[in-house]
Structure 1
Amino acid sequence: MPTPIASSPSTLPADSTIHWTEADQPQSAHWRSERGAPAPKRVVLADDTMSADTAYRLACEGTALLWRGDFHNARQLLQAIARRIDKTPARKQRKAPKEAAAPAEAFHLYRQAQAQRARVLNMLLLPVNADYTIPLRRAPNVHAACLAAWGPADLAVGPSVITLRELQGLTSTHEWRRKGLEIAALGEAPLNRIHPHYGVFSPVRGEYIDLVAKAPLPAPGVAFDIGTGTGVLAAVLVRRGVAQVVATDTDPRALACARDNLALLGVAKQVQVVQTDLFPEGQATLIVCNPPWLPARPGSPIEHAVYDEDSRMLLGFLAGLKGHLAPGGEGWLVLSDFAEHLGLRTRAELLAAFDTHGLKVLERLDAKPLHPKATDATAALHAARAAEVTSLWRLAVAGV
């Protein structure tokens, strides 16, 4: 089990105060939103006497519900609201188009629906005391989870308000961090677990890790791990015998997470963790990058691990690779073709980007996804998920 450490408190939006009226008196509290969402403008008090239908109607209208009842009843109410969102009215079913939408359109409609669903569900709010206790009946002890996500409690800040969904995400992530995720490519237990921190994407897609664990290594030398996240790929490279790795990221939470994991795995001496955008200084024999796979705008900070607006990280990696590769070196681009099946990027565009930046393909290693949605015919975007392939592109400088 990792030793919990306090990460830096999250950056709050400029208007980080929420206001409401209680007992005919104006009230306010610190507003916490990891997504950077503004505080709701309309807030009413809610408790165990409020029906799910009323709560759903108010939430759809944009009125937030500040909970004053039993904590477990708040959870049940959130589930009831979710059921009402997910139940498609018969009139909408009758108006549904007969022909299926094109993949790109289906993807955008799916994201719109998910954003609307999140907006409604995030209207159920909870109070949090300055010392990270929740002043509700049967409330759980969330102090350790809040400490890990927000840093030490600042009593001067006073009480806060947070959405119930965000609190659930915070506590579930803390369990991931406490228990860790076993990574087969890291070897035998106990030195094979990755502990993701709050706000850092968990390496649950094991196929991309396996590709890095099996691809043939170039000549010995320094390796760069671009966008290290939890540090899992840097650790895999060390386990494979790479003597020195420089792991980079821009997110302070990711950097802290990577340092913790590398220390727990016993490879901290072989990996230098650096805060920088994409490449560190110098050259390397091997440069690995697993950029976000979908060229779309992220809706929250955690989605930056999935969505790469305008393919900024992908194209930045390809543009800088030639200048940072040592003679005879290789760049490993780990990328899913999910975007291609969704109509967001074509294979021709990807290959053209290689050519534009003076790169050639030495080999492409492929793996099918192992996650449950790939075989679930009822999952959203199933056709694209079923066809998805994750590839490790072994790239080198063209003409060499």
Structure 2
Amino acid sequence: MPLHTITLADGRSLAYRSENRHRPPQRAVPARQISAAQVFRHACNGTATLWTGDFHQGKQLLAALKKHARKPAAPAPDPQTAFHKHRLAQSQHSRTANMLLVIIGAGFTLDLPRAPDVSAALADVYGTPNREPFLLPLKQLLGFIGAHQWHLKGVDVPALDGRIHVPFGVFSPVRGEYVGLLRDAPLPPVCETAFDIGTGSGVLAVLLAQRGFRRVVATDCDARAAACARANVRRFGLHAKIDVLQQNLFPAGTADLIVCNPPWLPAKPTSAIESALYDPDHAMLRAFLRDAPACLNPQGQIWLVLSDLAEHLSLRPADALPQWFAQAGLRLLAADHVRPIHGKAADPSDPLAFARQRERTFLYRLAAAQG
């Protein structure tokens, strides 16, 4: 993650940690009493506010800052413009909210009145406790605390008859409807070996092992995701069947089934976790389709999980997927789909509601083209 140094008003320089890719502030001014409007003005000038007051008042200030920074968006002339305006607004709101900082002391301590013990939540993100203090956006600290609680609790995945535990920085399988598609799909003629490419939390690798595959190899290029997947594999008692490798795309060898749930939207991510959602020009999807056929055993299949939201936002032509399948030498066996059931799908106030209301999540089942 990026590490920068910020100069405080008293002349000290402290390391600054952030999970996003915004340009960091160069300086920070301390405050125990300040309005959201003042914090916003500082932020517009590239100056962060270092909160030194009561923890709960800091949370209230952050909420007020978010409201102050949010402005009604003008109607967009077309779906693609609506999406890009939405992403720009998200980035601007995030940058502003992340300009309210706190100092994390040695050993992941937070020395603010009425502050909770944040050491476990920060250890979940960073691992070894720090020896030197550093600056952290209050918004991200609250995100770490919430993510830690969810990590301990886990996410119920009915298709697995169990819970998947996901730490901060790994995409959570909250959209569990697609897992049901893979649970119900007819298996290939041979079911010995499977690859799960871009495994994330490991949810699909666990499902494949539960469905009878004797060996599953799951890969992910992200270290946090690989560690998360290994932990979930152990929780389900499947470590003898599933190998998790930290690497990009395909492991060595071939498989009877190759599964992939790539990023769905062709856009630039602004943080590491957003890489599970956004991928410029569908780079991972294209690379997967290009190389997957060579990794298939005879009679093997490829299962691709993909939303059609990009099509409803005019970010991908409706005929793009059939063309990419054909270019990769693949034929479509079947395309099962399900309507998303997450909160945004039914929220009429969402800026992209016009597209989310039409979205479907597909399971494309593919095989090598004949002759």
- TM-score range with shorter-chain normalisation? over 0.9
Local SS of the residue matching 1:212: helix
Shift of 1:134: 0.6
Q: Secondary structure of 1:361's partner?
A: strand
**2:369 is equivalent to residue 398 of structure 1:** yes
2:133 to 147, 152, 159: 159
Matches within 5 A, 1:25-174: 26-47=11-32, 49-88=33-72, 96=74, 100-155=76-131, 158-174=132-148
Query: Residue 327 of structure 1: SS of its match in structure 2?
Result: strand
Whether 1:375 and 2:346 are equivalent positions in the alignment is: yes
TM-score (norm 2): 0.97
- Give the alignment of 1:358-373 within 5 angstroms: 358-373=329-344
Q: Is the 8 A contact 1:338 1:389 kept in 2?
A: yes
Instruction: Provide the residue aligned with 1:6 in structure 2.
Output: none
Say yes or no: does 1:283 pair with 2:257: no
Structure 2 distance, partners of 1:154, 1:77, is 27
- Residue 170 of structure 2 is matched in structure 1 by 200
| Partner residue in 2 for 1:7 | none
Given candidates 261, 274, 296, the residue that maps to 1:325 is 296
Aligned-partner Cα distance in 1 for 2:256–2:287: 19
Q: What SS does the corresponding residue of 2:151 show, helix, strand or coil? A: helix
Q: Is the 8 A contact 1:225 1:289 kept in 2?
A: yes
Deviation at 1:153, TM superposition (A): 1.3
Gaps of 5+ in 2: none
> Given that residues 62 and 120 in structure 1 are in contact (C-alpha distance below 8 angstroms), is that contact kept between their aligned partners in structure 2?
no
Which residue identity does 1:357 align to in structure 2?
Answer: A
3-state DSSP of counterpart to 2:9: strand
TM-superposed CA distance for 1:28, in Å, is: 1.3
Name the stretch that deviates more: 174-183 or 78-87. Answer: 78-87
**1:238 Cα deviation after fit:** 1.1
The separation in 1 between residues aligned to 2:326 and 2:261, in whole angstroms, is: 19
Q: Is the 8 A contact 2:9 2:27 kept in 1?
A: no
Contact 2:193 2:216 in 1 (8 A): yes
Give the C-alpha shift of residue 52 in structure 1: 2.7
Deviation at 1:87, TM superposition (A): 4.9
- The C-alpha deviation readout for 1:129-176, integer Å capped at 9, x for no partner, is 021001111111010111111011142xx1000001111111111111
Residue type of the alignment partner of 1:175: Q
**Partners of 2:43 and 2:255 in 1: CA distance:** 53
Alpha-carbon distance between aligned partners in 2 of 1:135 and 1:238, rounded to the nearest angstrom:
46
Q: Aligned with 1:235: secondary structure?
A: helix
- State how far apart, in whole Å, the 2-side matches of 1:54 and 1:32 are: 23
Contact 2:39 2:48 in 1 (8 A): no
Consecutive unaligned residues in structure 1, runs of 5 or more = 1-10
How many angstroms does 1:284 deviate by?
0.3
In 1, the alpha carbon distance for the partners of 2:139 and 2:77 equals 31
CA distance in 1, matches of 2:151, 2:43: 32
1:149/1:198 contact within 8 Å kept: yes
Spell out, residue by residue over 1:284-323, the C-alpha distance to the aligned partner (whole angstroms, 9 max, x if none): 0000000000011111111000001121110111001110
In structure 1, how many angstroms separate the alpha carbons of the residues matched to 2:330 and 2:35?
61
Contact 2:5 2:26 in 1 (8 A): no
Contact 2:6 2:27 in 1 (8 A): no
Counterparts of 1:333 and 1:104, CA distance in 2 = 24
Structure 1-normalised TM-score?
0.90
Q: Residue in 2 aligned with 1:182?
A: 156
Q: What CA distance in whole angstroms lies between the structure 2 residues aligned with 1:312 and 1:154? A: 36
Inter-partner Cα distance in structure 2 for 1:346 and 1:87: 31
Contact 1:335–1:391, Cα closer than 8 Å, also in 2:
yes
Q: Percent identity?
A: 48
Cα contact 1:342–1:384 (8 A) shared by 2: yes
Query: CA RMSD for the aligned pairs?
Result: 1.3
Contact 1:288 1:333 survives alignment (8 Å): yes
The reply to whether residue 21 of structure 1 matches residue 5 of structure 2 is no
**Residues 379 and 215 of structure 1: is their aligned pair in 2 closer, same or farther, counting only changes over 3 Å?**
same
State the secondary structure of the residue aligned to 1:291. coil
Q: Distance in 1 between matches of 2:40 and 2:295?
A: 54
1:213 to 183, 186, 191: 183
For residues 206-228 of structure 1, give each alpha carbon's deviation from its aligned partner in whole angstroms, at most 9, with x where no partner exists: 11111111111112220000000
Tell me the alpha carbon deviations over residues 109-136 of structure 1, each in whole angstroms, 9 at most, x when there is no partner. 0001111111111110000002100111
Deviation at 1:36, TM superposition (A): 4.1
How far is the alpha carbon of 1:398 from its aligned partner? Answer: 0.4
Alpha-carbon contact 2:182-2:363 (below 8 Å) kept: yes
CA separation in 2, counterparts of 1:37 and 1:59?
12
Tell me the distance in 2 between the aligned counterparts of 1:119 and 1:36.
Answer: 9
| SS class of match (2:366) | strand
Matches of 2:179 and 2:273, distance apart in 1:
20
Give the drift of 1:58: 2.1
Change (3 A) 1:12 1:85: closer
SS of corresponding position for 1:172 = helix
Q: Distance in 2 between matches of 1:373 and 1:266?
A: 34
CA distance in 1 between counterparts of 2:71 and 2:269 reads 26
**Preserved contact between residue 22 and residue 270 of structure 2 (Cα < 8 Å):** no
Alignment of 1:209-248 (within 5 A): 209-218=179-188, 219-248=190-219
